[in-house]
Amino acid sequence: PTLEPIVRIAFYALLGPLATISTLSWILREAQARERMQAELATTHAELQESHDLLGIIHRVAERFAAATDVEDAVRAGASGLVEATQGSASAIVLGASEPDLAGEINVSGALRDTIRARDARIRGGGSPPIRERVDGREVWVLSHPIRLAGVVEGSVHVVFGEEPNARAYEAFLILAAELASVIEASRSRVRDLLTLYDVDRSIRAEGNLERLLDMLLQRTMERVDASR
């Protein structure tokens, strides 16, 4: 009995602080885990919002592509849309199988135009131009992508940046470059259709012999659809 108070005091002097430390440590771990989850949720939400904004921009630009009535309209929409979606400082689209030319451009002049022409020539030759270029004594970053029409490289698209582009800009560039090639191909196909129809209509008006007229119509049709017989 004389030792009971001493034992009780010693017991609680050790157990009490240990229980308190264990409880506080558990609370701290739970609080840190909750903070990590909240930070991850905030990061995920920001990434989703950024992706949503990017998809919205791409959708608007693609709508302008789709509304183009001919290749020239598609190229103009492409040059401006690429700058808008990637936040680049300049853009250029080079087209032409035999005599390539800058069919569309935004903020391109002088040495930068020469650089883009050189990059286009390198792409047509099967090479890959470097992402960093030196233009007028300053360093720029240029994203370039070939434009393939019917499986053949007939041009290229380029976007210029004053600093290294981020992953979002690169993703938007690749998506819109592929979309632009599809729109240009569709526009060229519509133009060929219209020219064929115009040629046929003119021939019908000029040809008086029915047999020759039918032969000509058949020949034009086979040429347009790549038929063998």
Nearest to 117 by CA among 146, 88, 156: 156
**Tens-digit pLDDT string for the chain (229 aa):** 678 888 878 777 877 788 888 899 999 999 999 999 998 988 888 888 877 777 887 788 777 777 777 777 778 888 888 888 888 999 998 887 666 777 788 888 888 988 999 999 999 888 888 899 988 888 999 999 998 877 788 889 999 999 999 888 888 888 888 888 887 777 777 767 777 777 777 777 777 788 888 888 888 888 878 888 8
The rounded Cα 208 to chain-centroid distance in angstroms is 53
Q: What is the per-residue pLDDT for 44?
A: 86
pLDDT given for residue 144 in this prediction: 93
**Per-residue tokens: 91:** 């853009």
Name which of 58, 14, 55, 39 is nearest 176 in CA terms. 58
Give the predicted TM-score (pTM) of the model.
Answer: 0.63
